[in-house]
Amino acid sequence: MDIITLIIIAIGLSMDSFAVSVVNGFYINELTLKKVVLIAASFALFQTLMPVLGWAAGGTIEGYIRNTDHWIAFSLLLFLGIRMIYDGDGEENSSALGNIKLSTILTQSFATSIDALAVGLSLAVLNVQILRPVLMIGLTTFLFSIAGLYVGKRSGKRFQRSSEIVGGIILILIGAKILVEHLFMHH
C-alpha cells in the first residue's frame, strides 16, 4: 500500500477523534499538558489497536462487524451527547466544566475507533502488512487529537456556559454522521 493511500486512511480515521477532541477542549476548564497527552494517547491507542484486532480477525467477523459497528458508535455517542446536554442544563454549569472522567474519554475513544476495526479487516483481505498502517493511523490520530483539544479550548471561550450543551449536540451529530454514512453510503 502506497504512502499517499496510508495518509488518506489515517486522516480519514482521525477526523472523528479530532471532532470529539474539539468538544473535549472546550469542555475542559484547565487544559494541562498532562490532560492533552492522556486524551490524545487514548484516542491514538484505540485507533491503533482496533485495526490490529480487525486485521488479526481477518474475514471471520467481517459480516458481524459491518452490520453493527455504526449502531454501536451511534449509541455510545448519543448517550454521551445526551449526558453532556443534561449536565450542561444545570445552574452550576460553569463550576462543572473540566470534570471529564477517564471512563468518558475511553468510551469516546472506543466509539470513534470502531470504523478502524473495519479498516483492519480490509487490510487483512488485501494482504497488507499491518505495522506501517497502524503506526501512521496512531500518530495521525494523536496529532489530530492534540490539535482538536487546542481548537476546542480556544473556541470554548466563546461559548462559556453553553459549552456542555454545544458539545453534547456535536457528539450526537458525529454519531448521526457515522450512522448515516454506514446506512446510506456503504450499500
CB-CB neighbours of 182 under 10 Å: 21
Q: What is the pLDDT of residue 86?
A: 75
Work out how many domains the chain is built from and give that number.
Answer: 1
Q: What is the pLDDT of residue 93?
A: 40
CA distance 25 to 28: 6
Q: What is the pLDDT of residue 94?
A: 40
Residue owning grid cell 445526551: 82
CB-CB neighbours of 147 under 10 Å: 16
Query: Could you tell me how far CA 8 lies from the centroid of its own chain?
Result: 17
CB-CB neighbours of 151 under 10 Å: 16
Q: Per-residue pLDDT for the chain (187 aa), expressed as one digit of tens each?
A: 788 988 998 998 898 899 899 889 987 888 899 999 999 999 999 999 999 998 888 756 656 666 777 777 778 777 877 877 776 655 444 433 356 788 889 999 998 888 888 788 888 878 889 999 999 999 999 999 999 999 998 886 666 556 667 767 877 887 788 778 777 765 5
Q: Which residues of 112-141 are buried (b: 16+ CB within 10 A; e: fewer)?
A: bbbbbbbbbbbbbeeebeeeebbebbbebb
Q: Whole domain around residue 117: which residue ranges? A: 3-184
Q: What is the pLDDT of residue 142?
A: 98
Q: What is the pLDDT of residue 97?
A: 38
